[in-house]
């Protein structure tokens, strides 16, 4: 993991907002593992939903490759 690499929401590996895909890319793990973690946190108290929504708002979307239109 490169400590200078920024966290972005994924443009390609997304189901809803790209949060899990971005986390998976940043930490070099499978996106399904991150999705399951959010689901488990969401079911056991709702923290996963809150964290996901905050990250959706706070984490910027991945810049487009090649500088094209978003």
- pLDDT average, residue stretch 8-29: 87
Between the two ends of the chain, the Cα-to-Cα distance in Å is: 27
C-alpha–C-alpha distance, residues 18 and 39, integer Å: 15
Show me where the domains of the chain are located: 7-60
Identify the pLDDT of residue 7. Answer: 86
Tokens of residue 36, six digits: 């399951």
- Work out the mean pLDDT of the chain and round it to a whole number: 84
pTM: 0.77
Measure the CA–CA gap between 45 and 24, rounded to whole angstroms. 23
| Tens digit of each residue's pLDDT (9 = 90 or more) over 28-46 | 999 999 999 988 989 998 8
């Amino acid at each position: 993991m490169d400590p200078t690499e920024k966290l972005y929401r994924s443009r390609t590996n997304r189901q809803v907002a790209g949060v899990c895909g971005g986390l998976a890319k940043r930490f070099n793990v499978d996106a399904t593992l991150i999705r399951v973690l959010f689901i488990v946190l969401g079911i056991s108290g709702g923290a996963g939903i809150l964290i996901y929504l905050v990250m959706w708002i706070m984490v910027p979307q991945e810049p487009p490759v090649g500088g094209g239109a978003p």
